[in-house]
A and B are shown apart, each in its own frame.
Chain A
Amino acid sequence: MSSERIEEHRRRRRQRWLEVLREQGLGYLFMAPWAVGFLVFMAIPLGWSLYLTLNKVKLTPNGFDYTWRGLGNFRDAILLDHVYPVKLLTYLQEVILMIPIIIIFALFVSLLLNQSFPGRFLFRAIFFLPVIFATGQVLTELFSQGAGELPFIDQYNVKPLVMEYFGPRFAEPILGILGKVVIILWYSGVQILIFIAGFQTISKSVYEAVRIDGATPWESFWKITLPGAVPFIGLNAIYTIVDLFTFPLNPVLEEIKNNMFKPDTGYGYASALAWIYFAIIFILLSVVFLLLRKAARRRRRV
């Protein structure tokens, strides 16, 4: 009797194990093609490029020639290079100015698009359309043809005005941004959609309740819509950072690419530049994450 029960118990346990194994196996099976591709074309190249940062890489007729340099590439990039740090800092300045502009613009437009009026789906499509083309080649073409610039900057001589009011130090990034206004608008498509999706999560009854309590639309925006949209502002900030930093025309990436094929610097040095760049993106993203978590905690306390 008891031995039978033990047998039964064992059988059941084995069955459960088999089931777990089966599910695990299935998961790995479905995952496998992507994982292999990822390993071969993403993870290994990344690891490899990290190794290359510590070497001087020369292209010779019979393959690549590595010379160990330790952290020499990083030292050169920070202390000796007189192009890269300047480009990096200028771009960083520009991005930090652009992030709030993009987010505020997206918030504004999504608030408008969130109203009900005839044809809003058409408008949503138009505001989203540019994002679809904004990748790669097409945008490069547009930029090189100057389609991103506002015609009135040249026509009305805005440049000296900006110089006068903001001083030469801030004039440069401000003019840079003015020159890319259309492109900035182009870059807010996904952000607008994220905000619209976010507004759907705030329930209608809250608005009705405060309206009955006598709140104006203005007040209900500041007290309900904006606090409710905080997580989406964070998501948008992260998305915008990633988007701007992996932007194909980004001067920093261009500088890195230039260095790849320069005989005196080479691929090892370019990899070091790229990893410095990634580290900065990573720090920026971590700051946003920290702020987000803080905001979430404060909200929970209230």
Chain B
Amino acid sequence: MRRRMRRLSLSSVLLIAGLTGLALFMLIPIVYIFNHAFKPLDEMFLFPPRILVQEPTIVNFEKLFFATSGDVVPFTRYLFNSIIIAVITIFCVITVSSMAGYAIAKLRFGLKGLIMGLIYISLMFAAETVSIPRYLIISGLGINDTYFAHILPFLASPVAVFLMMAFIGQIPNDLIEAAKLDGASEVAIFNRIVMPLAAPAVATIAILTFQGVWGDVEASTLYVQDEALKNIAYYVQTLVSGAQNNVAGQGLMAAASLLMFLPNLIIFLVFQKRVMQTMLHSGVK
């Protein structure tokens, strides 16, 4: 008995060691982003490249903020745009997709099969390829140069509905029937029963949507011409593409990509536990 215990613990030690190795390997790019942003110029061009920084400096960040202070539209304006767009979009996507997910999972109506088919098919189309028809529609609706041009294209996300559908489908019908017998209205059932139980899926959608919106340059390049209404991802992209060909620009790029990356990391750490739950329940992203 004792021998078996010892063997078991040995194998689990091996397991943890192996997984730690793999996990470190997975973490390399993140470590790299953080280190790269603090590298002085001479370290950036070392060959073979090194991951860890030797003499960290904040000169790259200084350059980033100085580069921005000379422009017509200040850095903070882009930041403000991005934040407000992200907040409104997340709220709207959650509302719209949870309503649709509830309808598909728990209500009966005629066109359900068709709609589900459409969702499955549209999961595989890349959004880039429809950007020009979208542009025509947006200018047809007359919403260029408003925040709507940033927000509306995200609302019809097939991924979000797909997730909500899978998750709400697992809420037992008995629960909803019981609430109905107690005289709850459909709206009350949706608000008081379905939404709280679907909280993990809501968290996942919030993260996925945040990433989509935060990194989105399509709206700023194609739909919005007013410089004061563009978002930070676009701004960083212009900085980076301007700086790409010169040596000094590399530091700027590294600092900017860390800045773009940080909010994603923070949001993920905040919602991470919920997301893991969703993934384990629904089985699909």
The yes or no verdict on A and B being binding partners is: yes
A257 and B212 form a contact (CB under 8 A): no
Alpha-carbon gap, A281 to B61, bound state (A): 42
A87 to chain B, nearest CB (A): 15
B24 to chain A, nearest CB (A): 9
Q: At the interface, yes or no: A27 with Cβ under 8 Å from chain B?
A: yes
Q: At the interface, yes or no: B5 with Cβ under 8 Å from chain A?
A: no
B112 and A242 form a contact (CB under 8 A): no
A142 and B33 form a contact (CB under 8 A): yes
Our pick among A28, A130, A196 for the contact of B29 (Cβ within 8 Å) is: A130
Q: Given A33-B96, A117-B15, A194–B215 Cβ distance below 8 Å?
A: no
Q: Nearest chain-B residue to A46 (Cβ)? A: B130
B272 and A278 form a contact (CB under 8 A): no
Alpha-carbon gap, A168 to B50, bound state (A): 29
Chain A contact residues: over half helix, strand or loop, or mixed?
Answer: helix
Q: Nearest chain-A residue to B240 (Cβ)? A: A141
B130 and A133 form a contact (CB under 8 A): no
Tally inter-chain residue pairs, CB-CB below 8 A: 241
Chain B contact residues: over half helix, strand or loop, or mixed?
Answer: helix
Q: At the interface, yes or no: B99 with Cβ under 8 Å from chain A?
A: yes
Alpha-carbon gap, A132 to B99, bound state (A): 24
Our pick among A64, A113, A190, A257 for the contact of B19 (Cβ within 8 Å) is: A113
Q: Nearest chain-A residue to B121 (Cβ)? A: A282
B284 and A147 form a contact (CB under 8 A): no
Which of A1-9, A121-129, A159-167 lies at the interface? A121-129
Q: At the interface, yes or no: B84 with Cβ under 8 Å from chain A?
A: no
* Candidate in A43, A136, A274 with the most chain B CB atoms within 10 angstroms: A136
Q: Nearest chain-B residue to A27 (Cβ)? A: B109
Alpha-carbon gap, A108 to B280, bound state (A): 18
Q: Nearest chain-A residue to B122 (Cβ)? A: A42
Alpha-carbon gap, A27 to B106, bound state (A): 9
Our pick among B104, B128, B237, B283 for the contact of A31 (Cβ within 8 Å) is: B104
Alpha-carbon gap, A253 to B128, bound state (A): 8
B208 contacts across to A, CB distance below 8 A: 135
User: Which bracket fits the contact residues of B?
Assistant: 35 or more
- The A-contacting residues of B in range 120-138, CB under 8 angstroms, are 122-126, 128-134, 136-137
Q: At the interface, yes or no: B48 with Cβ under 8 Å from chain A?
A: yes
Q: Given A31-B103, A197-B280, A40–B137 Cβ distance below 8 Å?
A: yes
Q: At the interface, yes or no: A173 with Cβ under 8 Å from chain B?
A: no
Q: At the interface, yes or no: B58 with Cβ under 8 Å from chain A?
A: no
B268 and A129 form a contact (CB under 8 A): yes
Q: At the interface, yes or no: B27 with Cβ under 8 Å from chain A?
A: yes
- The A-contacting residues of B in range 212-259, CB under 8 angstroms, are 212, 214-217, 233, 236-237, 240, 253-254, 257
- The B-contacting residues of A in range 36-50, CB under 8 angstroms, are 37-46, 48-49
B48 and A137 form a contact (CB under 8 A): no
Alpha-carbon gap, A218 to B156, bound state (A): 47
B16 to chain A, nearest CB (A): 6
Q: Nearest chain-A residue to B20 (Cβ)? A: A123
Q: Nearest chain-B residue to A132 (Cβ)? A: B268
B15 contacts across to A, CB distance below 8 A: 112, 115, 117
Alpha-carbon gap, A194 to B281, bound state (A): 9
A245 and B124 form a contact (CB under 8 A): yes
B32 contacts across to A, CB distance below 8 A: 142, 145, 147
Alpha-carbon gap, A270 to B131, bound state (A): 11
B124 contacts across to A, CB distance below 8 A: 242, 245-246, 278, 281-282, 285
* Contact flags A185-202 to B (C-beta < 8 A → 1, else 0): 110001001101110100
Alpha-carbon gap, A240 to B186, bound state (A): 38
A253 contacts across to B, CB distance below 8 A: 126, 128-129
Q: At the interface, yes or no: A256 with Cβ under 8 Å from chain B?
A: yes
27 contacts between A and B (CB under 8 A): A23-B108, A26-B109, A28-B109, A28-B111, A33-B100, A37-B96, A37-B152, A40-B152, A41-B152, A45-B134, A48-B133, A49-B130, A52-B133, A112-B18, A121-B276, A125-B276, A128-B279, A129-B30, A132-B264, A136-B216, A138-B264, A182-B25, A190-B279, A197-B280, A239-B284, A260-B131, A285-B124
A residues neighboring B (CB under 8 Å): 23-24, 26-28, 30-31, 33-35, 37-46, 48-49, 52, 64, 109, 112-113, 115, 117-119, 121, 123-133, 135-138, 141-142, 144-148, 151, 154-155, 182, 185-186, 190, 193-194, 196-198, 200, 232, 235, 239, 242, 245-246, 248, 253, 256-257, 260, 267, 270-271, 274, 278, 281-282, 285
**Sample of 17 further A-B pairs with CB below 8 A, known A115-B15, A256-B129:** A26-B107, A27-B103, A30-B107, A33-B96, A33-B100, A39-B156, A46-B133, A118-B16, A123-B23, A142-B33, A145-B32, A147-B29, A154-B47, A197-B283, A239-B284, A274-B126, A274-B129
The 9 A-B residue pairs with the shortest CB-CB distance in the complex, in nearest-first order: A27-B109, A137-B215, A45-B133, A34-B100, A37-B156, A30-B103, A45-B130, A136-B215, A141-B257
B residues neighboring A (CB under 8 Å): 12, 15-16, 18-19, 22-23, 25-30, 32-33, 36, 47-49, 51, 95-97, 99-100, 102-104, 107-112, 115, 118, 122-126, 128-134, 136-137, 152-153, 155-156, 158, 161, 186, 190, 207-208, 211-212, 214-217, 233, 236-237, 240, 253-254, 257, 260-261, 264-265, 268, 272, 275-276, 279-281, 283-285
